[in-house]
Structure 1
Amino acid sequence: MRLTIFWQRMADHFGAAYADSFARDYVMSDLGGRTVQEALDAGWSAKEVWRVVCSVMDVPSDKR
């Protein structure tokens, strides 16, 4: 998954303004105690991070 697609999906689910805040502030144990942005910066693939976000935040299957 390209980062552009990842950020589009984040904006679709959380809203454009909140997606960035969520990515920088919400720490998830499934990402090793990292935020979305920290996980991406640490080398996690966008696809891996999106799967975790979907699981933790109960993103509907039609948006996955």
Structure 2
Amino acid sequence: MRRSEFQRAVAGEFGTRAAALVADLSLPSLGGRTSAEAMDAGVPPREVWFALCEEMDVPESHRHGVGRLEPRR
């Protein structure tokens, strides 16, 4: 997962709350860092996405394959 895919996945799942969650929600599984802090520290976006999903109780069915753009035709 790329950072851009992370951003699309968060926006798709959380809508208008996305930016606030990325900036403000501390994630215990990432040492209490926010999503933004974790990625700035080099944590892969995929790991951050799964930590955010776990903390926010996102269903498994919404976690995989999100954030990708449709292939060009």
TM over 0.5: yes
Greater RCO, CA 8 A, separation 6+ = 2
Hey, what does 1:60 align to over in structure 2?
Answer: 59
1:43 aligns with 2:42: yes
When the two chains are superposed, the root-mean-square deviation of aligned CA atoms in Å is: 0.9
User: Deviation string for 1:17-57 (max 9, x for gaps)?
Assistant: 31111111111111101000000000000011011111111
Larger-gyration structure (1/2): 2
Scaled by the length of structure 2, the TM-score of the pair is 0.79
Distance (Å, rounded) in 2 between the aligned partners of 1:29 and 1:6:
19
More deviation in 41-50 or 54-63? 54-63
* Gap regions ≥5 residues in structure 1: none
Q: Distance in 2 between matches of 1:5 and 1:21?
A: 17
Superposition TM-score, scaled by structure 1 size: 0.89
Q: What are structure 2's unaligned runs of at least 5 residues?
A: 64-73
After TM superposition, the runs of 4+ consecutive aligned structure 1 residues lying more than 6 A away are none
* Larger relative helix fraction: 1
Note if contact 1:9-1:63 (Cα within 8 Å) is conserved in structure 2: no
